[in-house]
């Protein structure tokens, strides 16, 4: 994993004046790997290319789909769907177990390539990142050309397909990369953000989930354009502070400005379980593995820490366990995703 500079999100006013936004440049690039876990598995099984492939476990297991190939998606299969449902939707789909340490390694390789294109890279998940390409023109050429070369470099170097969106804001760049998938690059020129977002269903906007979608539908709103047509006061009346954000998002703005922050805030490692487990011994083994990985990165970065944090994100009702090997701290496990955060910025020491 290279030393990555990071964006720090900071609230700031969003400029809605179209003339202002037209002078801005599209330099924010959002890169997201296509069907990431599937693509990594296919590196070792090229004969499965073009077939409906599901990663996450076997068709008769109790777990959920981690990733589905684009061919499998044609049958309605998607991430987080029960494996058994996926098996019913596409009986001839190929089901593969996940190999999480492989995905983390490939993610690091992609991050290394990204870092060659900009000093400002934020990996926001295992397979996606934001880059600020402003100021890189002398080295890499205009942002669009650099973005195209970056995608080609990733695919040529790793064999993994990816997509990207280039825009003036993180929000529009992310929506653009999603629209570009698979294997696409979409550029939204400065000044055309609102036109680009207008026809899209509201769910395409990051942050709008099922609940907001339902509330908007109750108001007769289904597209981004229809949100943008509602006065800010009305949105705030219905949604409170979230209404202010919706007003801004529907115009392509996010409430972020970017401040380069070259120091890592934390170093962590995580793993998603293929299926539920209540086996404390198995979980202890996974946590030991995760902490070894995270500590290795800590050592590589020449850092030490006093604080360890264990987090767990899951779908079901959590059960609580005390995780003794670390002496203190409790571990909430719903048995699906477990992650170990080894160091917080405040406790990192050089």
Which x/- pattern over 77-106 shows residues binding ligand DCP (rule: CB under 6 A)?
Answer: --xx--------------------------
Residue 79 binding result from ligand DCP, Mg ion, none, given CB thresholds of 5 to 8 Å by partner type: ligand DCP
Q: Does 36 bind ligand DCP (CB under 6 A)?
A: yes
Widest distance between CA atoms in the chain = 60
Residue 181 binding result from Mg ion, ligand DCP, none, given CB thresholds of 5 to 8 Å by partner type: ligand DCP
Smallest separation (angstroms) from ligand DCP to the CB of 56: 7
Q: Does 294 bind Mg ion (CB under 5 A)?
A: no
DSSP conformational letter for 69: -
The answer to whether 318 and 312 have CB atoms below 8 angstroms apart is yes
Residue with tokens 């917080």, as numbered in its chain: 344
Which x/- pattern over 27-66 shows residues binding Mg ion (rule: CB under 5 A)?
Answer: -----xx--x------------------------------
One of 30, 174, 181, 293 touching ligand DCP (CB under 6 A):
181
The answer to whether 331 and 321 have CB atoms below 8 angstroms apart is yes
Measured from the CB atom, is 14 or 36 closer to Mg ion? 36
Q: Is cis: bond before 269, omega within 30 of 0?
A: no
Specify the DSSP element, H or E, that contains 322: strand 319-322
Beta strands across the sheet bearing 266-272? 266-272, 337-344, 309-313
Distance of CA 73 to the CA centre of its chain: 19
Query: Segment 295-324, which members bind ligand DCP (CB under 6 A)?
Result: none
Smallest separation (angstroms) from ligand DCP to the CB of 102: 12
Q: Identify the active-site residue in 41, 71, 122, 128.
A: 128
Q: Does 33 bind ligand DCP (CB under 6 A)?
A: yes
Smallest separation (angstroms) from ligand DCP to the CB of 112: 18
Smallest separation (angstroms) from ligand DCP to the CB of 239: 26
Which x/- pattern over 53-82 shows residues binding ligand DCP (rule: CB under 6 A)?
Answer: -------------xx-----------xx--
Query: What do you get for the CA distance between the two ends of the chain, in Å?
Result: 18
Specify the DSSP element, H or E, that contains 67: strand 67-68
One of 1, 27, 32, 293 touching ligand DCP (CB under 6 A):
32
Cβ count near 231 (within 10 Å): 9
Smallest separation (angstroms) from ligand DCP to the CB of 313: 11
Cβ count near 76 (within 10 Å): 12
DSSP conformational letter for 5: B
Measured from the CB atom, is 66 or 194 closer to Mg ion? 66
Measured from the CB atom, is 128 or 132 closer to ligand DCP? 128
The answer to whether 25 and 52 have CB atoms below 8 angstroms apart is no
- C-alpha triplet 166, 105, 270: angle, nearest 5°: 90
**Is 128 assigned a catalytic role?**
yes
Smallest separation (angstroms) from ligand DCP to the CB of 315: 9
Residue with tokens 């496990």, as numbered in its chain: 333
d(CA 6, CA 14): 21
The binding site for Mg ion (CB under 5 A) comprises 32-33, 36, 127
The residues binding ligand DCP (CB under 6 A) are: 32-37, 66-67, 79-80, 126-128, 181-182, 272
Q: Which residues are catalytic?
A: 128
């Amino acid at each position: 994993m290279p030393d990555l500079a990071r964006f720090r999100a900071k609230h700031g006013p969003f400029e809605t004046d179209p003339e202002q936004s037209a002078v801005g440049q599209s330099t924010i690039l959002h890169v997201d790997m296509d069907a990431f876990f599937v693509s990594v598995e296919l590196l070792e099984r090229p004969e499965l290319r073009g077939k409906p492939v599901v990663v996450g476990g076997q068709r008769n297991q109790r777990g959920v789909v981690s990733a589905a190939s684009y061919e499998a998606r044609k049958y309605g299969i998607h991430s987080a769907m029960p494996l058994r449902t996926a098996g019913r939707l596409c009986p001839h789909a190929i089901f593969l177990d996940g190999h999480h340490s492989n995905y983390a390694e490939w993610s690091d390789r992609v991050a290394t390539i990204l870092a060659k294109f900009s000093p400002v890279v934020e990996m926001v998940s295992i397979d996606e990142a934001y880059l600020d390409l402003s100021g890189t023109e002398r080295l890499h050429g205009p942002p669009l050309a650099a973005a195209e070369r970056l995608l080609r470099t990733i695919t040529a170097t790793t064999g993994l397909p990816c997509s990207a969106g280039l825009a003036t804001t993180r929000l529009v760049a992310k929506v653009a990369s999603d629209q570009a998938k698979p294997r696409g690059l979409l550029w939204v020129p400065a000044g055309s953000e609102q036109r680009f977002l207008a026809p899209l269903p509201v769910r395409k906007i990051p942050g709008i989930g099922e609940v907001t979608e339902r509330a908007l539908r109750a108001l007769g709103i289904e597209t981004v354009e229809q949100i943008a047509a509602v006065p800010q006061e009305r949105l705030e009346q219905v949604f409170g502070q979230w209404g202010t954000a919706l007003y801004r998002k529907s115009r392509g703005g996010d409430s972020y400005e970017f401040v380069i922050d070259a120091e890592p805030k934390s170093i962590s490692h995580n793993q998603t379980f293929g299926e539920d487990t209540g086996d404390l011994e198995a979980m202890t083994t996974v946590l030991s593995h995760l902490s070894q990985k995270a500590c290795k990165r800590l050592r590589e970065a020449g850092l030490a820490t006093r604080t360890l944090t264990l987090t767990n994100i899951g779908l079901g009702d959590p059960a609580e366990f005390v995780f003794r090997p670390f002496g203190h701290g409790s571990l909430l496990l719903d048995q699906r995703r477990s992650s170990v955060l080894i160091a917080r910025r405040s406790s990192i020491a050089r």
